[in-house]
Structure 1
Amino acid sequence: MNIDQLETPVPVIDLDRVERNLAKMQAYCDQHGLKLRPHIKTHKLPQFALRQLALGAGGITCQKLGEAEVMADAGVTDILLSYPMIGPIKAARLAALAKRVSMRVVVDNPVALETVASAARQAGAEIGVLVEFDSGGKRTGVVTVDEALALAQAIIATDGLRFDGLMTYPSSAETARFVAAAKQRLGGEGIEIRIVSGGGTPNVWHQHEIEGLTELRVGTYIYHDRATVGAGVAALDDCALHLHATVVSRPTENRAIIDAGSKSLSSDRVAPSVGEGYGLILEYPDAIIERLNEEHGILDLTHSARKPAIGERVRIVPNHVCVVTNLHDEVVTSRNGLVEATLPVAARGRTR
């Protein structure tokens, strides 16, 4: 089947572009001595996780236990959970995973640490732990080296846990400063920092410049999107996932409606310097997807010299592709304009 025959809205993935993106990132990490641990939250597909591992990745990163469970079921054996686990239910699920595969988790507080310790006790298996620190993103993560030291000491003192190092997101110049101070402080206490895990596709080609980084967690690079193109780390020709949509109405000369709304496209915006609206329409780059209702995408055609007709199909580069993946039960893979397969997004909706 030709991809133009697919019913819309539908995410279509160009496998040749995926393969090129995966190979390029692995080559970058290999060149600079970084361990690649790709984040699967972008694609949520076991097939792609296994391909990343086959190309040389040293393991994968998951954001939630549900994602990790899906990947473990598919045969992935080395998983980092980059999100803090809190409470007995999470401990029981983490324990079940730790019995099957090599698990590493992150903590930034004693409550999360106790959850992981409980999991290790239940599993009778060792769990590696990274202490997360804040590199300026002002999200999770300890904010002082003394806090990192206290957690590292608590991890070392806890049966079943192994202190592996530090983690942050996004990695930046501040990362190097924190790591240098932490190595001096923890080293003075006889504690080795074996791993420093950083991440973020938007500045990925500069990660090797961050002193002390040993591991790279990136996800969006497999597909890229309007945001990573705007950040200068990819070109439009690198974008491997397009949302195909159909123009279903033209109420006025300068307004068109497509069959892709907030249930198909991310509501995330990009920087004004990158563009307006909720995605880039490749056939009509001057059109603006100015509003999203649940099933309607409203296009402003004022600045578009050419205007689409009712029934015309368009391809959209999403602003944030990770969200688009999670909105769809299935994705279609293709080569040279022909459909290869329809794949269930196995880890879709795994928010716990």
Structure 2
Amino acid sequence: MTPTVTVDLARLDANISRYGSLAREAGVALRAHVKGHRSPDIAARQVAAGAVGVAVHSAAEAMAYLEVGVTDVTVAWPWRDPWRWSRFAQLARHCAVTVHVDHPDTVTGLGAAALAHGVEVDVRIEVDTGLHRVGADPDAAGELATAVARTRGLRLAGVTGYVGLTDGAAARDRVDLGRRQARLLVAVAERIRAGGAPCPVVSVGGTPSILGALDVAGVTEVCTGAYALLDGGMARLGECAPEAVAIAVTTTVTGTDGQVPRTDADALLAGADQTWMPGVVMTGIDGAPVTAGAVSVGDEVRVLPGHVCPVVARQPLLHVLDSGGPVARWQALVRPDRA
């Protein structure tokens, strides 16, 4: 059989409600990053439940979310490609748009594109919180903020940063890590304000560290991608119970040699693990590992993917279940600005 990706509706709505309540109780806005589910249908439920908007990676992707009523979009990656800037400015004609930036050239180019299209684009300074992938050095963020504030067509909206878990130690320390990184971003925002520029938003990204971020005064928004569906990695980390995971893969056992059984979903699940949990471990819906000795060739099993993001990107048709029965099919989207 072809592996099937399912979404349990009751679990989905319970997750949306739980994380929304955590943010509301802390007096912090919640933004739904769509990288986990890539589904306008799920985003619509998140916004209806109180999320302030969505975070996307492309302007083309954003248009699909506008069609389901989303009016607030953040482009949550500091792209430096000049050809993108015009697309972001065009998007601002249709909704409230915020773009992450981490380089002076982006500030200049995005400002020129905004003026050319007769719009004003909100900008957040992406701060490197220690992953060294993207982001301005915290000590250089003030200078970049000044450049934004002086650039016509742009409006400085705040600062942002992603709290990433790089290994098991970071995963175990995730709440304190979230606090430390949130305090870093709050401090950067305070320095920007002291320099005379407005900096209303302090947005902290990351689901596993969310409790730490919500505990820090001065944080105004958390941006999280996995919270709606969750995944097996989150369950093994202790962020949620296995029965809270809303996504599962139904697959057939094709071999039982070795410790982990082979299935027809092996290609789908390959590499779908977390940085703190290297090597895909097949986890049953009860949270226990699925071992070769416990199943036979031809058995149908339902497993929790270790990492939701690559699974949905590879197999974007989501079969929606309610009380175990099929009720809908949702098409997840992968829409780059340039194919």
**What TM-score do the two structures reach when normalised by structure 1?**
0.85
Q: Tell me if 1:194 matches 2:187.
A: no
- Do 1:86 and 1:115's aligned partners in 2 also have CA atoms closer than 8 Å? no
- Do 2:26 and 2:215's aligned partners in 1 also have CA atoms closer than 8 Å? no
- Would the alpha carbon gap of residues 243 and 161 (structure 1) be closer, same or farther in structure 2, given more than 3 Å must change? same
1:293 is aligned to: none
- Do 2:250 and 2:301's aligned partners in 1 also have CA atoms closer than 8 Å? yes
Q: Tell me if 1:241 matches 2:234.
A: no
1:222 is aligned to: 228
Counterparts of 1:136 and 1:230 in 2: how far apart (Å)?
Answer: 24
- Do 2:159 and 2:202's aligned partners in 1 also have CA atoms closer than 8 Å? yes
Alignment map for 1:115-134 (pairs within 5 Å)? 115-134=109-128
Q: Deviations over 1:241-289 (max 9, x none)?
A: 0010012345x59774311122x225043477x686343134793445x
- Do 2:271 and 2:280's aligned partners in 1 also have CA atoms closer than 8 Å? no
1:98 is aligned to: 92
Counterparts of 1:284 and 1:54 in 2: how far apart (Å)?
Answer: 30
**What TM-score do the two structures reach when normalised by structure 2?**
0.88
1:281 is aligned to: 284
Counterparts of 2:14 and 2:279 in 1: how far apart (Å)?
Answer: 28
Counterparts of 2:136 and 2:121 in 1: how far apart (Å)?
Answer: 20
Q: Aligned with 2:5: secondary structure?
A: strand
Q: Is the deviation greater in 118-127 or in 219-228?
A: 118-127
CA offset at residue 342 of structure 1?
1.6
Report the AA paired with residue 312 of structure 2: T
Counterparts of 1:157 and 1:185 in 2: how far apart (Å)?
Answer: 17
Q: Aligned with 1:38: secondary structure?
A: strand
Report the AA paired with residue 38 of structure 1: A
CA offset at residue 72 of structure 1?
2.6
Q: Tell me if 1:269 matches 2:282.
A: no
2:135 is aligned to: 141
1:298 is aligned to: none
Q: Deviations over 1:152-171 (max 9, x none)?
A: 11111111110011000017
Unmatched runs of 5 consecutive residues or more in structure 1: 1-6, 289-300
Q: Deviations over 1:283-336 (max 9, x none)?
A: 793445xxxxxxxxxxxx2xx4x3x22321101111101110111131100011
2:172 is aligned to: none
- Would the alpha carbon gap of residues 187 and 276 (structure 1) be closer, same or farther in structure 2, given more than 3 Å must change? closer
Q: Is the deviation greater in 39-48 or in 167-176?
A: 167-176
Q: Deviations over 1:106-135 (max 9, x none)?
A: 111112212321331232111100001122
Q: Aligned with 1:83: secondary structure?
A: coil
Counterparts of 1:226 and 1:99 in 2: how far apart (Å)?
Answer: 39
Q: Deviations over 1:175-210 (max 9, x none)?
A: 344345434432332223200000111122232212
Report the AA paired with residue 336 of structure 2: R
Identical-residue share of aligned pairs (%): 28
1:12 is aligned to: 6
Q: Tell me if 1:167 matches 2:153.
A: no
Q: Is the deviation greater in 122-131 or in 13-22?
A: 122-131
Q: Tell me if 1:56 matches 2:42.
A: no
Q: Aligned with 1:221: secondary structure?
A: coil
Q: Tell me if 1:258 matches 2:263.
A: yes
CA offset at residue 142 of structure 1?
1.3
- Would the alpha carbon gap of residues 93 and 187 (structure 1) be closer, same or farther in structure 2, given more than 3 Å must change? closer
Length, aligned pairs only: 325
Report the AA paired with residue 235 of structure 2: V
Q: Is the deviation greater in 110-119 or in 27-36?
A: 110-119
- Give the number of the structure whose alpha-carbon radius of gyration is greater: 1
- Would the alpha carbon gap of residues 335 and 70 (structure 1) be closer, same or farther in structure 2, given more than 3 Å must change? same
- Would the alpha carbon gap of residues 350 and 123 (structure 1) be closer, same or farther in structure 2, given more than 3 Å must change? same
2:334 is aligned to: 348
Taking only aligned residues, the RMSD between alpha carbons, in angstroms, comes to 2.3
Q: Tell me if 1:155 matches 2:129.
A: no
- Do 2:269 and 2:280's aligned partners in 1 also have CA atoms closer than 8 Å? no
Counterparts of 2:82 and 2:9 in 1: how far apart (Å)?
Answer: 41
1:291 is aligned to: none
- Do 1:267 and 1:278's aligned partners in 2 also have CA atoms closer than 8 Å? no
Unmatched runs of 5 consecutive residues or more in structure 2: 164-176
Q: Aligned with 1:172: secondary structure?
A: helix
